[in-house]
A and B are shown apart, each in its own frame.
Chain A
Amino acid sequence: MTGIVQLQNVTKTIKGKTIIDSLSFEVNKGEVFGFLGPNGAGKTTTIRMMVGLIGITSGDIKIGGNSIQSNFEQAVSRIGAIVENPEMYKFLTGYENLIHFARLSNKVDKQKIDEVVKLVNLSDRIHDKVKNYSLGMRQRLGVAQALLHDPEVLILDEPTNGLDPAGIREMRDHLKMLTREKGLAVIVSSHLLSEMEMMCDRIAILQKGKLVDVQTIQDFKNGVDHVVEFNVVPVDKALVIIQALGIPARKGEAGLTCKINKEDIPSIVKSLTTENINVYGIKEVTKSLEERFLEVTEEREVSLYA
């Protein structure tokens, strides 16, 4: 099955500067796809190209087989999106805003508007002026306008920005529901990993306009090195012993830390005890996803300038 969203060697150059460099990946129906990268990596720029707000210097983006460049109206009618902040007409009510956007796509009726309003939990404030909305309420209204025309692809640029923990959880549940039950493809961008971890099925890591990697969230987590911490006395002697075994190790906060596989632990313990080292504890230290992310992007940086 080919993805509903396909990026093929997408490149964007602005004033001689390559901002997005030959990006290719696919997003399938029914999955939440995370778009991960530090500030300025090019997430928003890529999203702008996907929805046709800016031109593509070379390459192509297809939505359900329609090129966003040559077949704009067909392609864009399958997308609902928020690009950066969900800016609405502040002098209109939430409901009037939705009517406004509904008029721009065919086939959206009043019933549909009420349905999305209910979905994003905005029913009791929908007739207030948007200028009186909180950031979180605007975010919800943004999601509502993106869902109006029953899109197959939902693109959200930093959707949890401004939401409280309950709101984030709710958003996560919505996205899960939309993908599992309605078969939407959802693309979210973020630089908050903890959030991505809970929300996404797959993530693409973007760094300086280049794709570093596309992985399922599971593979990404498994890629984390196992670091084991040995709480031993005396530390210096133990360090010499372990290093003699050809294992990289260094002094940590509470003893020694070394990069090893789980299976190697018993043999190391044996070596240590035969040398009369007291072992008080052995602890597996999994790196947080955060660290893993920094690691991936930094590795990339190093190799870029190597």
Chain B
Amino acid sequence: MLKLLQNEWMKIIKRPGTFVMMGLLLVTVVLMGGIIKYQSQDEKPNPNWKLEIQTTIAEQKQNLVQMENVPKGQREYLEKSIAINEYRLEHNLAPNGEYAIWSFVQDASSLIQLAGLFTIIVAAGIVASEFNWGTIKLLLIRPTSRSKILLAKYTTVISFALLMLTLLFGFSTLVGWIAFGMPEQSTPYLNYFAGKVTEESMVFHLIKFHGLSSISMIMLSTMAFMISAVFRNSSLAIGLSIFLMFTGAQFTNLIAIKFDWAKYILFANTDLMQYFEGMPLVEGMTLPFSVSMLVVYFVLFHSLAFFVFRKRDVAA
């Protein structure tokens, strides 16, 4: 099995595309750091922040009263904003107090999408490319079962995802540290969940956030992998997965407004952050529910991939 993994990694590393991906990730993080640094130069901590926040709270409260029929999402956003701002006033915590390393890592975490994109590209190609190249014929006539080969390929996808996440976390920590330095005093992260605001250590929050975000990334990659193994077509796998990555959540949100069964859709469950911050998409959804749904989808994708890959005639 170790040898199979070595093989898969050799095929990934020896292609220039892989370094382009890593390079792009690094460049984007650096670019982001540069832009934020440039913008924050003329942004000084506002001594009158308390006054400012009070006005905002008043405005938002009025909005809330005026718009009785605003969509649920918007209401929640306002409620959250008000709650957090009130907490700031109470505990004397200035907003955008000091922009330092962890603030940057937090901002850069939006690039998890990019890491996810690259992982999907790798997942979509790892089986289908062997068919395109014709090398599948030489790969499958060895005393190694098809299941083992497929398992090695999937394991490689997961380790690639982890590598991407680690690189992103590493790059952004490094860039954040160089550009913004360590904070003089640690600012806590304010978490709003179920109407309550709590303080959290920033580092803990970031690790939790990256970990939970990777779940969505891994599910999408698993889907791309399945499409790749079943249809043997990498363009289809890449196209469909990326399309769903960018639109799946929105579609699910739209459906969730009208129908309860939206909670069975994959994308309603990939964002586990909803159980730690904010509100679940559909009322009554719980963390165990989402985890079981994810397991069901995971098993489904793999059953499909293994069943078809083991059985099909290879006439490439």
Contact = CB atoms under 8 A, between A and B. Distances in A.
- Say if A and B assemble together: yes
Interface of A: 14, 48, 51-55, 72-74, 76-77, 79, 81, 83-92, 96, 99-101, 103-106, 145
7 contacts: A48-B313, A51-B141, A53-B137, A53-B315, A72-B145, A96-B10, A104-B143
Contacts of B144: 73, 104-105
Contact of A73 (B4, B134, B143): B143
Contacts of B315: 48, 53-54
Contacts of B314: 48, 53-54
Contacts of B7: 100, 103-104
Interface of B: 3-4, 6-7, 10-11, 14-16, 133-135, 137-145, 311, 313-315
A86 B11 CA distance: 18
Q: Which of B14, B133, B141 has the most CB of A within 10 A?
A: B141
A238 B15 CA distance: 76
**Chain A contact surface mostly:** loop
Contact of B141 (A52, A84, A96, A100): A52
Contacts of A85: 134
A54 B141 contact: no
Given A54-B313, A87-B134, A105 B10 contact: no
Given A73-B144, A87-B133, A145-B138, 20 more contacts: A48-B315, A73-B143, A79-B141, A81-B141, A83-B137, A83-B138, A85-B134, A86-B138, A87-B135, A89-B133, A89-B135, A90-B133, A91-B15, A91-B16, A101-B142, A103-B7, A104-B3, A104-B142, A104-B144, A106-B143
Contacts of B4: 103-104
A127 B142 CA distance: 24
A150 to B, nearest CB: 13
A64 B25 CA distance: 53
Contacts of A48: 313-315
Contacts of B14: 89, 91-92, 96
A236 B187 CA distance: 116
B143 A52 contact: no
Nearest to B140: A53
B16 to A, nearest CB: 8
A48 to B, nearest CB: 7
B137 A92 contact: no
Contact of B140 (A52, A84, A86, A103): A52
B5 to A, nearest CB: 10
Contacts of A73: 143-145
Nearest to B139: A104
B254 to A, nearest CB: 41
B313 A100 contact: no
A48 B315 CA distance: 8
Contacts of B133: 87, 89-90
A76 B141 contact: yes
Contact of B313 (A53, A99, A105, A106): A53
What are the 10 tightest A-B residue pairs by CB atom distance, in nearest-first order? Answer: A87-B134, A104-B142, A54-B313, A77-B143, A103-B3, A73-B143, A53-B314, A51-B141, A83-B137, A104-B144
